[in-house]
A and B are shown apart, each in its own frame.
Chain A
Amino acid sequence: MICPGCGTANHPDAAYCNLCQKSFLPAGVSRFAGEATGGSPGPAAPLLRPAPMLSFYEAASRNVRMSRLLFLALFATFLAVGGGIGSAYGNVGYGVALALILYAILASTAYFTGSSLVLSIHGAREADPAIHRKLRNVVEEMSIASGIPMPRVYVMESRGMNAFAAGRRPEEALVAVTTGLLERVTREELQGVIAHEMAHIKSRDTLYNICAAVLVGSIALLADMFLRGAPFRGRGRSGGGGRGNAAFLVLGVFLAILAPIAAKILQMSISRQREYHADAVGAQFTRNPLGLASALRKISQTGADVPGENRGTQHLFIVNPLRHFGDDASALLSTHPSTALRIQRLNAMAGIAPATFGS
């Protein structure tokens, strides 16, 4: 559609101009109003709030702000648990220090466990340069578009369509895709999928995930230690100032039960933000949000099974192999946003209005 205001050519279904943001619709009329009442709404029915119409630059910086905020909240919860335990035994500083030491130990173990484990769990083999020529070319194209070194390329034998990226630094990164995905996607869709994975690599999401997971793990461990009480009680009393204030103790028990749950919820919402972020940054690499949108639609129709799927690595994949397309988008403990919502946001980046159901 050609914008009457500035003459820019837009997508035929666009509801507003991608350049000057002018709406193509008469004021107050929704072009999807008819669809809301007629026929079955399909799997997208639970979507009440339409995705914000943002360009990929705006979407990306919004996601960065959101995930920083969530990460800060997670870190604050962690310090509060440490401090809370400390204060129950008389000294806030000791609690915080203990928490930080625990974090350092767990984080370094997690950091030095390489990505080779993930590869062997899912039976990934290095992509053959002759057979997987197109795949390697597309990865190289995206490494040029993103400006990061060419990652190693792996293939997993599976009829399901899925892909993941791993590696703490761009220099040692890898991407892996299933054979089912390679067989069914067009070049444009493959570009979208690979761009999403390169976006994870470029924004160091593996590191982000490790940090968040370790925070959650240490919060759970600290809370457990507190509830069992053993490592603290003796030390607190011998320290002299260890008058276990009863009110603090009750508060502490309350915190110790609630904190791990809150931390898990925060971790999962960080994970969902990172997925949205990778979608937006990937769209910046390909300049074509609709490629990934169309790939996601195919994946949701075909299934995202991978060999060796499990809860430990589910967050790595482009589409969670353990969840289904219709699952509720707002589920607090899911690693990925619902695929329907992601497609809606990608469409919005291309200037296509989301279908609004009900009003």
Chain B
Amino acid sequence: MIWIPAILAIVLVGWFVLTYNALVRLRNQFRNAWHQIDVQLKRRYDLIPNLVEVVKDYMSYEQETLTRVIEARGAAISARGAAEQGKAENALTESLKSLFAVVERYPELKANQNVASLQEELTATENKISFARQFYNDSVMTYNNKIQSLPSNLIASVFDFSPAEYFEVGEESRAVPKADLR
């Protein structure tokens, strides 16, 4: 009866290979998801100068809003560290929101084809940023479930797969934003 232990060994090795590969795949997935967030953030930095360029001629009375957007972009680009960058990105999102609120008040701006397409691009980019964060968190959840539940946690603990951290928005951005109607 040599074949019973032989089959058991094959099954065990097969399980090990499959589980280990699944763990590696999930870890790479959430790491890649993190970089996808950066790709979208970068795209937003690139779009903002174009928008400012198109809008500024119409908005002679709204220089303050424009300056705020430009400053927020600069601050977000130069921010170091996850916490500081999170805060700067949120400030940039808020300043863009108030810029779009201003655009709504200028009919000739709203009718401008360039503004409309830039607005669509920025809306899409804002959405992509939040969906990229959502996908990062979904990937972290799948990965953490895998490394913490039986039996895959046995392999995870031996090969040092440590739990990943969720992306979280700061307390200040969780609060309901105040309408800015100056």
Contact = CB atoms under 8 A, between A and B. Distances in A.
B168 to A, nearest CB: 16
Interface of A: 133-134, 137-138, 140-142, 144-147, 187, 284-285, 287
B117 interface: yes
B120 A133 contact: yes
Given A133-B117, A137-B124, A147 B33 contact: yes
B144 interface: no
Nearest to A284: B138
B98 interface: no
A112 to B, nearest CB: 28
A285 B132 CA distance: 11
A141 B135 contact: no
Contacts of A142: 131
How many chain B residues sit at the interface, stated as a range, is 10 to 19
Q: Binding site of A, secondary structure by majority: helix, strand, loop or mixed?
A: helix
Contact of A140 (B117, B120, B124): B124
Interface in B110-167: 117, 120-121, 123-124, 127-128, 131-132, 134-135, 138-139
Contacts, number: 37
16 contacts: A134-B120, A134-B124, A137-B127, A140-B124, A140-B128, A141-B131, A142-B131, A144-B36, A144-B128, A144-B132, A144-B135, A145-B135, A147-B29, A147-B138, A285-B131, A287-B134
A137 B33 contact: no
B135 A146 contact: yes
Contact of B127 (A141, A147, A284): A141
Residue in B123, B124, B131, B132 whose Cβ sees the most chain A Cβ within 10 Å: B131
B134 A145 contact: yes
Nearest to B117: A133
Nearest to A147: B135
Contacts of B124: 134, 137-138, 140-141
A137 B135 CA distance: 17
Contacts of A146: 135
Contacts of A138: 124
Contacts of A133: 117, 120-121
A133 B128 CA distance: 14
Contacts of A134: 120, 124
A137 B119 CA distance: 12
Nearest to A191: B127
